[in-house]
Chain A
Amino acid sequence: MKIPYSLFSRRAFLNSLIGGWLAALVAAFVGPFMKFVIPPEREPDQVSVPLADVQGLTPHVVKTFAWGNKPGLLRKTEDGGYLAFVGVCTHLDCNVTYRTEQRRFYCACHEGWYDENGLNIAGPPPSPLRRLAVSVEGDALVVRKQG
């Protein structure tokens, strides 16, 4: 079919062709750029803590271990089990500390409080401390991501 008139001029066609090509070229660089500037994650799959290190642990005492780049917190429960948390406040990521006299976890950045089981009880934290799974394997406690 022959159209009696052109829908767009030759110039408009070439401009959009070159413009589209430039845009596509720029877009093609965005992906690799983003890949480069964000390094791969380093959260460990599991961390083992020698049983010998936790032998003397009594309930209401908390031991710190390295969970990748973050502090992990380990607590022995009354019934002899273990609870482990990522010791990072769920509000704005500050490291929390255990207050033995109050038996609570405390974040100094914005005064957030968690009870012994990691539940957020006061201050701005929106959710409980992140729990990690703990199991006894041989002569070590193995801490894993939960779920």
Chain B
Amino acid sequence: MNAIRAWMKERLGIGAVTGFLAKKEIPRHKHTFLYYTGSLILLFLVIQIVTGVLLAVYYRPTLAEANASIARIMTEIPLGWFVRSVHSWSSTFMIAFVLVHLLGIAFTKAYRKPREASWLTGVLLLGVSLAFGFTGYLLPWDELSLSATKVGTNLPKAIPIVGPWLSHLLRAGEDVTGDTLSRFFVFHVTVLPLAILAFLCVHLFLVQRHGMSIPLKEERKQRKIPSLPFWPNFVFREAGIWLVLVGLLLTVAVIFAPGLGPQADLMAPAPEGVQPEWYFLFMFQTLKLFPARILGLNGELVAVLFMAAGLIMVFLLPFIDNRPFLKKGKVITALAWAAFAYTVVMSIWSLL
């Protein structure tokens, strides 16, 4: 065993990595819990990959068979309902922790110099995660998923010049059809996984390179901050939290398994109660509230530009707030709270 270990150490050069991890320390303070959110996202990502591969074994991405193949997974395949339920719930958990991770970093100003690139790759990872959710929502090919996808792929049309082309690219033509389904499947199982792994590697590398950010309040106290060794102390604490969350995930997956609507019919009117996944609800409600015309402009265009501006601001946050790390950032904190409140209120409103 020792010989194998020595051989690996010499041939693979992993001594550098293990040496780094052995010395890595996690600062301890009031906000240490925020450091756990990143690894929790990884946990749910791994669950997504495993359950996703399992589902792809039986799923068939065609107009005629998509809905029926999910019905088969739900009713005939042993534990099929459970695998699908875990996949669906784990996506919810993953996005939820992505949002907590993002808000935590915004509030503690951890995106400031030198961690701008970590933030940029993080927002890209958020975008890829949302794209996973959006493409995955269509795959069951039921009435609701069809209508939600029609709305979602129509949105880019409002953008001048590239908009219509972008919508055609997403839909594979003018309408949502069987080609859209194949396309979304390909994105969901090949393009997006490659993208998420690529961005994730850069993100994780940058986090190690720059080390853990210490929140402003602690840094300003100008005292030595106690720390915790990454291995084994922090990893074991993390493992405990993973265990609890996996238990929670499996419990909700068993109790609240997702349903399956009737097969989508391209000719049928949109069903009542069309809704996207919960993390798109605030956009859905925003669209609903905008009138057809605002100051002579197309209301949809204004709504889409409004949301796009918000996203671009989030992406470029480290350059909008490029003050030195030790400065307070009350405006950004207030804006982050405002964005959070807007999202929560709009999401709840859309459910009323």
In the complex, A123→B266 CA distance in Å?
A: 23
Nearest CB of A to B195, in Å: 16
B151 near A94: Cβ-Cβ < 8 Å: yes
B269 near A97: Cβ-Cβ < 8 Å: yes
Known: A94-B151, A96-B269, A109-B270. 11 other contacts (CB 8 A): A37-B169, A38-B173, A69-B174, A93-B150, A93-B151, A108-B269, A108-B271, A111-B288, A124-B300, A126-B293, A126-B300
Which residues in window 75-129 of A have CB below 8 A to B?
87, 89, 91-97, 107-111, 120, 123-126
Known: A69-B175, A110-B288, A124-B291. A91 touches B269 (CB 8 A): no
B270 near A71: Cβ-Cβ < 8 Å: no
* Residues of chain A with a CB closer than 8 A to B154's CB: 92-93
In the complex, A33→B214 CA distance in Å?
A: 46
In the complex, A2→B177 CA distance in Å?
A: 66
Which residues in window 40-71 of A have CB below 8 A to B?
40-43, 64, 66, 68-71
Interface residues in chain B, defined as those with a beta carbon under 8 Å from any beta carbon in chain A: 147, 150-151, 153-155, 165, 168-169, 172-177, 179, 266-274, 287-288, 290-293, 298-300
B270 near A107: Cβ-Cβ < 8 Å: yes
* Residues of chain B with a CB closer than 8 A to A120's CB: 292
A124 near B269: Cβ-Cβ < 8 Å: no
A124 near B288: Cβ-Cβ < 8 Å: yes
* Residues of chain B with a CB closer than 8 A to A4's CB: none
Nearest CB of A to B274, in Å: 5
A69 near B177: Cβ-Cβ < 8 Å: yes
B151 near A92: Cβ-Cβ < 8 Å: yes
Nearest CB of B to A69, in Å: 4
Interface flag for A32 (CB, 8 Å): no
Among B168, B172, B175, B273, max chain A CB count under 10 A is at B175
Main secondary structure of the interface of A (DSSP, over half): loop
* Contact among B267, B270, B287, B299 for A108, CB-based, below 8 A: B270
Nearest CB of B to A33, in Å: 11
* Contact among A39, A91, A95, A125 for B179, CB-based, below 8 A: A39
* Residues of chain B with a CB closer than 8 A to A89's CB: 270
* Contact among A37, A69, A92 for B266, CB-based, below 8 A: A69
* Residues of chain B with a CB closer than 8 A to A124's CB: 287-288, 290-292, 299-300
* Residues of chain A with a CB closer than 8 A to B179's CB: 39
Interface size grouping (class) on chain A = 20 to 34
A109 near B147: Cβ-Cβ < 8 Å: yes
In the complex, A111→B272 CA distance in Å?
A: 9
B300 near A91: Cβ-Cβ < 8 Å: yes
A92 near B168: Cβ-Cβ < 8 Å: no
* Contact among B150, B165, B172, B298 for A94, CB-based, below 8 A: B150
* Contact among A41, A43, A92 for B287, CB-based, below 8 A: A92
* Residues of chain B with a CB closer than 8 A to A69's CB: 174-175, 177, 266
**9 tightest Cβ-Cβ pairs between the two chains A and B:** A97-B269, A94-B270, A93-B154, A69-B175, A92-B151, A108-B270, A126-B292, A71-B267, A92-B154
In the complex, A111→B266 CA distance in Å?
A: 19
Nearest CB of B to A96, in Å: 6
12 pairs across A/B with beta carbons < 8 Å?
A: A37-B172, A38-B169, A64-B267, A69-B174, A87-B269, A96-B270, A107-B270, A108-B271, A108-B274, A120-B292, A124-B287, A125-B292
* Residues of chain B with a CB closer than 8 A to A68's CB: 175
A39 near B172: Cβ-Cβ < 8 Å: yes
* Residues of chain A with a CB closer than 8 A to B300's CB: 91-92, 124, 126
In the complex, A22→B130 CA distance in Å?
A: 33
* Residues of chain A with a CB closer than 8 A to B176's CB: 93
In the complex, A123→B272 CA distance in Å?
A: 15
- Nearest chain-A residue to B274 (Cβ)? A109
* Residues of chain B with a CB closer than 8 A to A97's CB: 269-270
In the complex, A107→B147 CA distance in Å?
A: 11
- Nearest chain-A residue to B266 (Cβ)? A69
* Contact among A108, A123, A126 for B298, CB-based, below 8 A: A126
A110 near B174: Cβ-Cβ < 8 Å: no
Nearest CB of A to B39, in Å: 37
Nearest CB of B to A7, in Å: 36
B147 near A94: Cβ-Cβ < 8 Å: yes
B287 near A110: Cβ-Cβ < 8 Å: yes
Among A41, A95, A111, A125, max chain B CB count under 10 A is at A95
- Nearest chain-A residue to B179 (Cβ)? A39
